Amino acid sequence: MVKVSPRGASRLKDGHVWVYRSDIVSAAGVSSGSPVMVTDHRGQILGTALYSSSSQIAVRLISRDPVADFPALLRQRIADAIAYREPLVHDSNAYRIIFSEADFLPGLIVDRYNNILSMQILTQAMDAEPVRGTLLSELTERLHPASIVERVDPRVRQLEELPARASGLLQGESTSTVFTMNGVQFQFDALEGQKTGAFLDQRENYAAAARYAHGEALDVFCYQGGFALHLAPRCSHVAGVDSSRPALEVADQNAILNHCDIEWIEASAFDLLKDYSGSGQRYDTIVLDPPAFAKSKRDLDAAMRGYKELNLRALKTLRPGGTLVTCSCSYHVSQGDFLEMLAGAARDAHRTLRLVEVRGQAKDHPVLLNIPETAYLKCVIAIVSN
């Protein structure tokens, strides 16, 4: 049994599922491999949780009720997560099947890439051997994958004080495949060399960007070509920019797979945009999808300056009537902050922007309204009117 402070209890009552270590009153004798009952300081039951002995997030609620049969609960949650996505995902055999807290399975992420499942375990409870066994058997029974691969984040295992473990096959033999997203094909290789794939959370934004794309397009921070490949059928010319050569090599293979002619440019996005905006090079469509600039709250000011500089340069480089698709995957940057930054960039670039879409992550990455941490991706599409 874990007893939590009044502050921890009110957090749970407000709909969140986390209690931080500083709000734990007692957790004597609690084991982290199986669910534990959580009570407030008076002994009132608040639900059943998974407990971590090392993480700052000590308690992650898994149910508001007592749990008699944990494996049965896990099986049900997996079935529910699969069923939830059936009406929401179209024309794609790559999407997130389980998104941790957002699917009431804290510490577990499962992605599907065609016939390969990629699983990531982030907490002590999900790492326990019997839990792993239940997860594998239920996923196999429901989805019949050719193989299941585990992707290990060594830093997470260290933080959770779990023994080191290598990424690798858990089941089956194949580790590579080709998957389809909105009709576009991508190489996927779970283990060999650099991990390949697409950013699944951008799936719906790829399709949205394509609806507004035209003319000469530039996909900045293109990685393996997620946006560029979607824009190619709509645009007269597409160029993708990234600082990573291995990413561009896979992007080029993806272009060949889709019979697209895309120019790949290995460069620093900041330098290139500065150069283009100053030299008079112009585009009709620009996508900005940088890595998370704000990894923590402390980085917020520097991150906002980075986003503003990029957006300012992109706005100066767009022709009148041009489309800007601009993203941020930093959880610490709110949608409000992001729109404010964009308004500032438009003002400084002397451009008038019309918002056409304010978007978030694809629906297979559900946002729980009472758990703000589940919402992290922003994607704004705007048209430059002058």
Catalytic residues: 329
Locus of tokens 């609960």: 73
Residues that bind ligand SAH (CB under 6 A): 198-199, 202, 221-224, 226-227, 242-244, 247, 268-270, 289-291
Phi first, then psi: what are they for 85, rounded to 5°?
Answer: -85, -20
Tell me whether residue 70 or residue 186 sits nearer to ligand SAH (CB atom).
Answer: 186
Please state the closest distance from residue 91 (CB atom) to ligand SAH, in A. Answer: 17
Tell me whether residue 224 or residue 374 sits nearer to ligand SAH (CB atom).
Answer: 224
Please state the closest distance from residue 151 (CB atom) to ligand SAH, in A. Answer: 16
Tell me whether residue 222 or residue 375 sits nearer to ligand SAH (CB atom).
Answer: 222
Locus of tokens 């309204």: 369
Nearest residue to ligand SAH by CB is 226
Q: How many CB atoms lie within 10 A of CB 119?
A: 22
Tell me whether residue 47 or residue 226 sits nearer to ligand SAH (CB atom).
Answer: 226
Mapped to the 3 state alphabet, what secondary structure does 46-85 carry?
A: EEEEEECCCCCEEEEEEECCCCCCHHHHHHHHHHHHHHHH
Please state the closest distance from residue 111 (CB atom) to ligand SAH, in A. Answer: 14
- Eight-state DSSP code of residue 92: B
Q: Do the beta carbons of residue 124 and residue 151 sit within 8 Å?
A: no
Structure tokens at 342: 């964009």
Q: What CA–CA distance (Å, rounded) separates 203 from 364?
A: 9
Rg (CA), the chain: 22
Please state the closest distance from residue 205 (CB atom) to ligand SAH, in A. Answer: 8
Terminus-to-terminus CA distance in the chain, angstroms?
Answer: 63
Q: What CA–CA distance (Å, rounded) separates 114 from 266?
A: 29
Tell me whether residue 268 or residue 281 sits nearer to ligand SAH (CB atom).
Answer: 268
Please state the closest distance from residue 363 (CB atom) to ligand SAH, in A. Answer: 17
